[in-house]
Chain A
């Protein structure tokens, strides 16, 4: 068994716990996480398996002794790979006759031993999947070519690259290869010529096939999809493929160029694999965004990061949103949330929203159990798990507890992102008055925050909505991705500048 699977921490007991303590801890957790009690929660059943395995080790004297011996040697080398930090919006709640909301900020830090100075860059297995439909003609395709060539220049001979282009069908420009002969690879990119329509499935499917050729758990396996249009009829097939990619440890990140692509679909596609979607409003942004993205991949310290959340039976997980890096709404359908890679220099931060039921009993209680797992990229792949029980005190005495700044700051911005989502919902219901009211509120908040440009865009969109009863493609994407960008420090100014210098 791998050393990184720490049965003590999985059971939440200390190293010197007695057999009785271990048995008690196991019984409690097994009861809580039992599949019968958590139907439909895949995360709980994964955690249940871990707990059973951990108890299997610690209840067997020989296995326990072997683990303890391994752990002792391990401690001498002193390695914890990442640590968790849970910050609740309040430390205590009162029992109320109604539901209440509690936010938990979950942060994953690379362990201090992951010293950035000593860290060598992670090796990449990257597939660029590029849309070459007719609409990419002109500046767009030229910028994409420059970006792809810059990426070839920045990769090392240990990295693997493939380039796939697609219109109505897919063709492989560069089959999966080590980046050794850079001039010839760049020459092949320069021959790309746009024509035809956009059929994404073929492109992604070929990109995935190319990544699989060199797939290896010691490196970062990634597909970057760049498109400027809608795909028709093959969305479900694409999402199915994204699930397969996740299971193989391949992350898909999407870049939407211009205003005509399907943002909801690309967001779903990337979230499924733990990736993110970026809005690039003008062709000029392509080079920088693509380059930055590839650079962030080489900063990976651990990959295939995943968060599982098993809420207590009476608690509901309502929302999960990744704040950093790359702000992105997360899908919580099966409570297993892929998070792609953990970078050396940036923690992963996720905001979770839980709903507590009415009439809580006075007690110190748990809300959910969370496990973060990931694979550490080293010579030898080590998988590692960190566990945390999120708990809260239910008390009769009112505590005036101010929410922590980190949560206030994140939520103040996330609320804006959700306001534009709510405006969209109103419009989908045909309620123009409500939609414009929500947009006006959004503009007011943006002005208060000093985001004048974005506030102006929002107000202009209000006018368009009043006239046409619909959002404009350009306006909606700008508002959606720029309010999202507010969550990543320093992200907004750049994005706005790109919008202003847009190639239309």
Chain B
């Protein structure tokens, strides 16, 4: 149970606002930034804050991916469709973005793993039939079923975690 600091009401675990008095039980201001943004970059910080949570992509918005293992973000300029995966010497089809430098093999990334499609005002994430699955905020995607991406989302390719920002 979580006890409300204001009215002492006991709420079930996982409740976000006290059922008795409406006070936030999360203990952090509503507009707090997410922990993964601790990686420093002042400019990103300011611009990312204002858009966090938005699904809307303006014209010319790039997609930025941050991997836990790597300080340098990956920036993907707007294009029609990019396929993420890993390059395999024996294979005839290669992905647009090779995730090998981020530990793709050990983390179970497929050769053709997932795709991001840039459309008029949204970004769409698709699992293109990976073996170990693509996860959006912990939800495993059904293969080939598109999902709308939001600024600040967590995407997992197999076990490889990346955070998505619009830039």
Contact = CB atoms under 8 A, between A and B. Distances in A.
A359 to B, nearest CB: 13
Contact of B15 (A15, A86, A101, A438): A101
A9 B22 contact: no
Given A91-B154, A109-B122, A422-B19, A392 B138 contact: yes
Contacts of A406: 53, 150
Contacts of B122: 109, 112
Interface stretch (B58-66, B69-77, B85-93, B140-148): B140-148
A441 interface: yes
Contacts of A412: 17, 22, 24, 30
Nearest to B118: A112
**Chain A binding surface SS class:** mixed
A373 to B, nearest CB: 14
Contacts of B55: 109
A116 B119 CA distance: 13
Contacts of A16: 129
Nearest to A111: B146
B43 interface: no
Contact of A14 (B1, B121, B144, B150): B144
B42 interface: no
Could you say which interface size class chain A belongs to?
A: 35 or more
Interface residues of B, number: 50
Contact of B143 (A14, A100, A438): A14
Contacts of A445: 21-23
B22 A419 contact: yes
Contacts, number: 144
B32 interface: yes
Contact of B139 (A9, A388, A409): A388
A390 B139 contact: yes
Contact of B26 (A15, A408, A418): A408
B151 to A, nearest CB: 10
A5 interface: no
Interface string B15-47: 111111111101010111011000000000000
B68 interface: no
Interface stretch (A148-156, A259-267, A396-404): A396-404
A289 interface: no
Contacts of A422: 19-20
Contact of B13 (A98, A402, A416): A98
B137 A441 contact: no
A393 interface: yes
A313 B17 CA distance: 27
A101 B14 contact: yes
Contact of B137 (A15, A91, A100, A416): A91
A113 B122 CA distance: 11
B143 A15 contact: yes
Contacts of B150: 85, 406
A343 to B, nearest CB: 15
19 contacts: A6-B144, A14-B144, A92-B138, A100-B12, A101-B14, A101-B15, A103-B14, A111-B146, A112-B121, A386-B145, A389-B139, A403-B16, A411-B17, A412-B22, A415-B22, A422-B19, A422-B20, A438-B20, A441-B7
Interface of B: 1, 7, 12-24, 26, 28, 30-32, 34-35, 52-53, 55, 117, 119-122, 124, 127-130, 136-140, 142-148, 150, 152, 154
